[in-house]
Chains A and B, each alone.
Chain A
């Protein structure tokens, strides 16, 4: 079946550090891949997405590249800020289905 695996958190970084949050997936066909972010006390909001292999999604300095050969969609940011502290969720939808599959989430703490 379809699944998403994310690295365990929490991830604690100093401000301006480089961020990588790993995400790998298992899916039949050609899934679309998403990163969502959840700030404290809020619902999830879309951060970026990629719908086909080699696509790069980017937003607010975050980037992720859809790598079909390694079935990965790692999230990166060159310089994190305290305001990036949140929980990040990797997710996929597979063609022919109507269901989102979410990873377990990775909590990021950025220290000033």
Chain B
């Protein structure tokens, strides 16, 4: 089975622009979560989607948004980019077999975003 894939792997943008990142979960996985990883703040939860619905959200401003499609693929969007948005953005998928709190998350390699 193919793992979680994220595109693009690297991205350079300038302040004020917007960006869209894509995540394809493992086949059959229905939950997709997004995280921001920075040296200063560590791994911070952005949001989680299941069946095209945002089920959980972290403490990020409204500039950060996401969506999930019927095939479970997900995108996240950041509008009006700021220098502090430079980070590694990680996507993770899980199966959702019913025992949610025991589920393993499978991470993609991440998209490294640099905002100049």
A: residues with CB less than 8 A from B are 31-32, 34, 36, 41-46, 49, 51, 89, 93-105
A98 and B48 contact, Cβ closer than 8 Å, known pairs A43-B90, A43-B109, A104-B42: yes
> Which of B31, B43, B110 is within 8 Å of A105, CB to CB?
B43
Other-chain residue from B45, B56, B104, B107 in contact with A43 (beta carbon distance below 8 A): B107
Residue of A nearest to B35 (CB): A102
Do B101 and A31 touch across chains, with their CB atoms under 8 A apart? Answer: yes
Taking A99-B56, A102-B43, A104-B42 as contacts, is the C-beta distance between A45 and B101 under 8 angstroms?
A: no
Chain B residues at the A interface, C-beta cutoff of 8 Å: 4, 31, 33, 35, 42-43, 45, 48, 50, 55-56, 90, 92, 100-110
**Neighbouring B residues of A89 by C-beta, 8 Å:** 43
Give the complex CA separation of A98 and B50 in angstroms. Answer: 10
List, in ascending order, chain A residues with CB within 8 A of B50's CB.
Answer: 98
